[in-house]
């Protein structure tokens, strides 16, 4: 299958706006070819450092600029994190993702602990992913040597809408970090959020930037906004699940070999819409009872969903 990196915004907007039956058909043709077994990767998420973040992301419960009601949680130590990783592995997770509510990584004890966590997760035979804000080249190299599979750093939305959501950093800052991660040889996990008040053009712009990367990000998380009380986006209406289906299908067509992860927002979706996302080419989900600070479907519910769909967890 020929991979393309030259999609124009018009191409992408045309895909996103196709009649749903046609879009689903196109996405399935690509997906069946790229992932014939409908294998779905299970990624578990753990918040190692929660809250108090200096950035002002309007969607985020963990920003110090947002008076959200957060459960105060001390930063977790290496043993506690690896204990959770073992438990995630026992419930069937393939990837263990760890989050830090930081603007950027700073050298010191907390970063040394992060490196030890990555080594520990890799030693268990699971994939390891970290999301912790910006980083420098030396830090990226150290994480690469520890065996880090992927670094998650989302672009969140299109460049024109970005400063309506975040003012403490720029789109360019985000792109620079992504380049550092790539240069160090770590896989990229990069996606976005819908339901923040952006237009279809903004969604197309985000997908165009992602699809223009060469290579494409290895994983592309598609999040539906979880409207958290106390954040500027608390009153946003829940995103229509079929909009997530469209984003997943379009991402699948643009980036045939990437993992498209149906991420935050599944708790508000029915089984039927999630099934449509699997059909449309979602081949990964967050798996486990919690995301970072909000809930996720129970492990048993997700097992039942995958069995119902007849797809393989792998």
C-alpha angle with apex 7: 192 to 284, nearest 5 degrees? Answer: 40
Among 16, 57, 81, 262, binds ligand SF4 (CB under 6 A): 57
The dihedrals phi and psi of 18, each to the nearest 5 degrees, come to: -60, 155
Q: Which residues are catalytic?
A: 53, 57, 60, 97, 129, 189, 261
Nearest CB to ligand SAM, comparing residues 35 and 131: 131
Q: If binding is defined by CB under 6 A, does position 286 make contact with ligand SAM?
A: no
- 60 assigned binding-site residue: yes
Among 88, 226, 253, 276, binds ligand SAM (CB under 6 A): 226
Question: What's the length of the chain?
Answer: 314
- 189 assigned binding-site residue: yes
Q: Where are the alpha helices (DSSP H) in the chain?
A: 9-16, 20-34, 78-90, 109-123, 137-145, 171-183, 200-212, 241-254, 271-280, 299-309
Closest CA to 141 of 183, 172, 103: 183
Among ligand DTB, ligand SF4, ligand SAM, none, the one that 63 touches (CB under a kind-dependent 5 to 8 A) is ligand SF4
The string of DSSP codes covering 5-64 is: ----HHHHHHHHTS-HHHHHHHHHHHHHHH-TT-EEEEEEEEEEE-S-BSS--TT-TTBT
Q: If binding is defined by CB under 6 A, does position 101 make contact with ligand SF4?
A: yes
Among ligand SF4, ligand SAM, ligand DTB, none, the one that 279 touches (CB under a kind-dependent 5 to 8 A) is none
Expressed in angstroms, the distance from the first to the final Cα of the chain is: 22
Q: Kind of pairing, strands 150-152 and 127-131?
A: parallel
Q: If binding is defined by CB under 6 A, does position 133 make contact with ligand SAM?
A: yes
Q: Is 128 helix (H, G, I), strand (E, B) or coil?
A: strand
- 277 assigned binding-site residue: no
116, exposed or middle or buried, with CB in 10 Å at 0-12, 13-18, 19+? middle
With beta carbons less than 8 A apart as the criterion, state whether 135 and 180 touch. yes
Least Å distance, CB 267 to ligand DTB, is 10
Q: If binding is defined by CB under 6 A, does position 264 make contact with ligand DTB?
A: yes
Q: If binding is defined by CB under 6 A, does position 294 make contact with ligand DTB?
A: yes
Nearest CB to ligand SF4, comparing residues 60 and 82: 60
Nearest CB to ligand SF4, comparing residues 53 and 130: 53
Q: If binding is defined by CB under 6 A, does position 229 make contact with ligand DTB?
A: no
Q: Residues near 207 by Cβ (< 8 Å), separated by ≥ 6?
A: 7, 12, 16, 247, 250, 251, 254
Among 26, 127, 156, 302, binds ligand SAM (CB under 6 A): 156
Stretch that binds ligand SAM, among 65-73, 106-114, 153-161, 275-283 (CB under 6 A): 153-161
With beta carbons less than 8 A apart as the criterion, state whether 81 and 129 touch. no
Name the site residues for ligand DTB (rule: CB under 6 A): 45, 61, 99, 131, 152, 154, 191, 221, 223, 226, 263-264, 291-294
Q: Residues in the site for ligand SF4, rule: CB under 6 A?
A: 53, 55, 57, 60, 62-63, 101, 133
Q: Which residues are annotated as a binding site?
A: 53, 57, 60, 97, 129, 189, 261
Where do contacts with ligand SAM occur on this chain (CB under 6 A)?
A: 53, 59-60, 99, 101-102, 131-133, 153-154, 156, 193, 223, 225-226, 228, 264, 292
């Amino acid at each position: 299958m020929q991979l393309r990196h030259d999609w124009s915004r018009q191409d992408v907007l045309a895909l996103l706006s196709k009649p749903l039956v046609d879009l689903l058909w196109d996405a399935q043709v690509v997906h069946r070819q790229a992932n014939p077994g409908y294998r779905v990767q299970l990624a578990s998420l753990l918040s190692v450092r929660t809250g108090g973040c200096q950035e002002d992301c309007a969607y985020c419960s963990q920003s110090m600029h947002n008076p959200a009601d957060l459960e105060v949680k001390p930063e977790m130590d290496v043993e506690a994190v690896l204990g959770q990783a073992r438990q995630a592995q026992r419930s069937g997770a393939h990837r263990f993702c760890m989050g830090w509510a930081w603007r950027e990584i700073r050298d010191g004890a907390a970063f040394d602990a992060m490196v030890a966590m990555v080594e520990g997760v890799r030693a268990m035979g699971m994939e390891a992913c970290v999301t912790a804000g910006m980083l420098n080249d030396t830090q990226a190299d150290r994480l690469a040597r520890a065996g880090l599979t992927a670094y998650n750093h989302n672009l969140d939305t299109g460049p024109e809408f970005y400063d309506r959501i975040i003012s403490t950093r720029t789109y360019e800052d985000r792109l620079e970090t992504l380049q550092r991660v790539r240069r160090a040889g770590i896989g990229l996990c990069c996606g976005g959020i819908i339901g923040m008040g952006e237009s279809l053009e903004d969604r197309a712009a985000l997908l165009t930037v992602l699809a223009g990367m060469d290579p494409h990000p290895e994983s592309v998380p598609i999040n539906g906004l979880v409207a958290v009380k106390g954040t500027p986006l608390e009153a946003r209406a829940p995103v229509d699940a079929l909009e997530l289906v469209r984003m997943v299908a379009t991402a699948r067509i643009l980036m045939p070999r990437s993992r498209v992860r149906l991420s935050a927002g599944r708790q508000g979706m029915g089984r039927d819409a999630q099934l449509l996302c699997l059909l449309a080419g979602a081949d990964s989900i967050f798996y486990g009872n919690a995301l970072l600070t909000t809930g996720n479907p129970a492990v048993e519910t997700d097992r039942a969903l995958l069995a119902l769909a007849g797809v393989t967890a792998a």
